Amino acid sequence: MSVIPIRNFDGRFASKAPAGPRYTVDQAKTIYQTYLAAVCQHQGLYPREVEKQLARPGKPNCDMQWRRAAYARQLALYLANTSHDVPQVLLAQAAGITRAAVCQALQAIEDLREIPAFDVRVDAVAAEMGAS
């Protein structure tokens, strides 16, 4: 059995992975739902309506309401991951989606962070959650 070396932030090999916060699925779900509620409040949406929209069958990508709900979920996942270091595998379980979908959601928000106006909105939601 071979050990895969891990690098520290300075590029040197580390003996083990850095210790970060460890969450249960229930804790991850609470964090995700809290961020989803905050994002929904900023967008004028309701978290239960977002969940209903995302669970609908059919071709949701063509529907503007579904796309707004998907964006709210993406942003909530991003904030939970970046602000609380919730692992993607736990976020997938908390949101009821695949790990690949979580990865795509995080990448989509990261790509949008290059737009200054969007970046300000993300920081506002994160700051509001930090204050509460």
pTM of the model: 0.79
Among the ranges given (18-27, 35-44, 61-70, 83-92), the one the predictor scored with the smallest mean pLDDT: 18-27
**Per-residue pLDDT reduced to its tens digit, 52-78:** 988 887 666 778 888 899 999 999 999
Residues in the chain: 132
Residues 40/50, Cβ–Cβ less than 8 Å: yes
Task: Report percent pLDDT > 70 for the chain.
Answer: 80
- Cα separation of 87 and 26, whole Å? 13
Considering only CA atoms, which of 109, 59, 108 is closest in space to residue 79? 109
22 vs 89: CA distance, rounded Å: 12
Higher pLDDT, 115 or 7: 115
pLDDT of residue 101: 94
For the ranges 35-39, 59-63, 66-70, 98-102, the lowest mean pLDDT is seen at: 59-63
CB count in 10 Å sphere of residue 27: 15
Q: What is the pLDDT of residue 18?
A: 54
